[in-house]
Copies of this chain bind each other. A is one copy, B any other.
Amino acid sequence: MSSGHHVAAWRYPDANAEGGLDFNHFRQIAQAAERGKFDTIFFADGVSVRDRGQDKDIISRAGHVAHFEPITLLSALSVVTEHIGLIATVSTTYNETYHLARKFASLDYLSGGRAGWNLVTSATDSEAKNFNLDKHPDHTPRYQRAREFVDVVKGLWDSWEDDAFIRDKESGIFFDPDKFHVPNHKGEYFSVRGPLNVARPIQGYPVIVQAGSSEDGKNLAAETAEVIFTAHQTLADAKTFYADVKERAAKIGRNPDHIKIMPGIFPVIGRTEEEAQEKFQKLQDGIDPKVGLALLGSMLGNVDLSGYPLDEPLPDLPETELHQSRQDLLIRLARRENLTIRQLYQWIAGARGHYQLVGTPEQIADHLEEWFVNDAADGFNIMPPYLPSGLEEFVDLVIPILQERGLFRTEYEGKTLRENLGLPRPTNQFVVEKELVAA
C-alpha cells in the first residue's frame, strides 16, 4: 500500500497520495527503515487492479490501483540503500520458474545479498483473467504447483557452485566445468532444463518468505519459509500460531530458529494517547462509506450491503461457502461488541486483521515487548497507517525505546539479509550430492 496501510491512507493529510509511482517516496521510506535498522522492507503485490467485481465509481475511491512493480522498484532501491533487505512478492501461480529465479538472483547481486522472495499463490479471479484464465485455480493444485515451483527455483539457483567462476584471462578458462550443473527438472507442473544464466546468488538462495495461514499454507511455510508474515489480534492467538509453525518445522527436521515469525503491526503513534486516538479517528473518518461497505461485503463473502443503514447493527446474512471462517469471525465480533455496519467496516479497514496499536511510543513498545518475550513473535512486520511519515515516527519514537531496552539492534550484524536475520546460508544441493558420492 503505497500511501500507507490504512484503507483510506491516501486521504490522510500527511500521506503522499502520489506515492505509488514516485520513486522519491519509496527512497524516503527505504532510507527511513534503514536508519531504523529494520531487517527489510517488503511490498505486498498482486498482478491486477483488485476491483472485487465492483463498479468504476467505487474503485475510483480506493487508492491502491496504480503503483510500481516490486522487482523493478527494489532493484532501483538497491542503489540508494546499503544494509536493508529487499523483499518482493511474486506469485507462483502466474509466473515461470526461470524468470523468477533469474530476477531474484539478479536482485541479489545488485544489492550485495539483500534479496528476499515473498512467495504467494495469489488470491483473486481478477489476476487469473490477466493470464488467459477465467477463474483463479483451486487451492490444492495451486499449492502443489507452489511446492514444485520452489524446488525448480532452488535447482536453478544451484546451477553454479559458489566458486565456479575462475575468469582466468591467461588460460582462457572462464569457469570450472566441474562446478557447473544442469538441473534438468521434469515434474508435474514444470519441465525446466536450466542452467540459470546468473551465478549462484550471494546468499545462496534469496531469503524465502511466506504468509500462509491455511493448513496448506502453514505446511508449505513450515517446509520452505524462512520468514513468515502473519496476522493476529491477541497475544494468545499469536502464541498458538508461533508454537504451531515451529513445531511443524521441527517435525520435518528443520531447526525452528530458522523460521522467523513476524506478525503484522499497525501502529498509530501519538505523543499522548489522546493525540493517537485523534489521528486514528481522522484516518477512520477518511473511509468513504462506499469503499468501506464494498470491503466489508467482500470479506463477508460477496454480500451486497448497499441497501442497509450504516449506523444500525449488521443484519442477518445468508451463509456463503467462501471464507466461511472469516465471515463467522466478523459476524461474531459484530454481535459481541454490538457494532453497527459502519463500526464493523471501520474495524476491518484499518489494520485489516493485523494487530492495531493506537497509543504512545512507550505503550506501543510495551506491546511489542510483551509479544516478543512471550514467544509470540521473532520480529514484527510494521505496517504504518500512512506513509512516509508514519514510518518515520515509528523509527524516531518507538525504535529508540526498543533499543534502550536491549530488545533491538543498534547496528546491522552482517552484510546480507540472511546474516541480519540470523539465517544460515544454504548449501548447494549439487555439492551435497557430490559429497555423498565421494563418501
A interface residues with partner B (beta carbon < 8 Å): 8, 10-13, 17-18, 20-21, 23, 46-49, 56-57, 59-63, 65-69, 71-73, 75-76, 78-80, 94-96, 98-99, 102-103, 105-107, 109-110, 126, 129-133, 159-160, 165, 167, 169, 172-177, 180, 190-199, 286, 288
Contacts of A76 in B (CB 8 A): 75-76, 78-79, 110
A133 to B175, CA, bound (A): 28
Return the chain B residue nearest A62 by Cβ.
B174
With known contacts A67-B198, A132-B191, A59–B180 Cβ distance under 8 A: yes
Contacts of A129 in B (CB 8 A): 191-193
Residue from A11, A67, A106, A197 with most neighbouring chain B CB atoms (10 Å): A197
A75 to B103, CA, bound (A): 12
How close is A19's CB to chain B, nearest CB, in angstroms? 10
Contacts of A175 in B (CB 8 A): 60, 65-66
A98 to B174, CA, bound (A): 37
**Are A10 and B96 neighbours in the complex by a CB distance under 8 Å?**
no
A167 to B72, CA, bound (A): 24
With known contacts A94-B96, A169-B11, A130–B60 Cβ distance under 8 A: no
Return the chain B residue nearest A194 by Cβ.
B130
**Are A176 and B60 neighbours in the complex by a CB distance under 8 Å?**
yes
How close is A197's CB to chain B, nearest CB, in angstroms? 5
Other than A56-B177, A65-B174, give 11 A-B pairs with Cβ distance below 8 A: A21-B198, A59-B180, A68-B106, A68-B198, A71-B72, A71-B75, A76-B110, A79-B79, A94-B99, A95-B99, A172-B288
A27 to B72, CA, bound (A): 17
**Are A165 and B69 neighbours in the complex by a CB distance under 8 Å?**
no
**Are A59 and B177 neighbours in the complex by a CB distance under 8 Å?**
yes
Contacts of A191 in B (CB 8 A): 129, 132-133
How close is A134's CB to chain B, nearest CB, in angstroms? 8
**Are B96 and A56 neighbours in the complex by a CB distance under 8 Å?**
no
A59 to B193, CA, bound (A): 16
11 A/B residue pairs, CB under 8 Å, sorted by A: A12-B169, A13-B169, A23-B79, A49-B194, A62-B174, A67-B197, A68-B106, A71-B103, A75-B76, A98-B131, A126-B193
Copies of the chain in the assembly: 2
**Are B192 and A68 neighbours in the complex by a CB distance under 8 Å?**
no
Choose among B11, B96, B180 the residue that contacts A172 (Cβ–Cβ < 8 A).
B11
Choose among B71, B130, B160 the residue that contacts A192 (Cβ–Cβ < 8 A).
B130
Contacts of A102 in B (CB 8 A): 47, 69
**Are B49 and A197 neighbours in the complex by a CB distance under 8 Å?**
yes
**Are A165 and B72 neighbours in the complex by a CB distance under 8 Å?**
no
A412 to B1, CA, bound (A): 36
With known contacts A13-B169, A61-B174, A103–B66 Cβ distance under 8 A: no
Contacts of A57 in B (CB 8 A): 177
Contacts of A131 in B (CB 8 A): 96, 98, 192
Contacts of A133 in B (CB 8 A): 191
Contacts of A106 in B (CB 8 A): 68-69, 72-73
Contacts of A94 in B (CB 8 A): 96, 98-99
Contacts of A71 in B (CB 8 A): 71-72, 75, 103
Contacts of A75 in B (CB 8 A): 71-73, 75-76
Contacts of A172 in B (CB 8 A): 8, 11, 61, 286, 288
Contacts of A180 in B (CB 8 A): 56, 59-60
Q: Which 5 A-B pairs have the closest CB atoms?
A: A56-B177, A75-B75, A129-B193, A69-B106, A72-B106
Contacts of A165 in B (CB 8 A): 18, 66
A49 to B46, CA, bound (A): 30
**Are A167 and B198 neighbours in the complex by a CB distance under 8 Å?**
no
**Are A173 and B109 neighbours in the complex by a CB distance under 8 Å?**
no
How close is A208's CB to chain B, nearest CB, in angstroms? 18
**Are A21 and B66 neighbours in the complex by a CB distance under 8 Å?**
no
A268 to B173, CA, bound (A): 24
**Are A167 and B98 neighbours in the complex by a CB distance under 8 Å?**
no
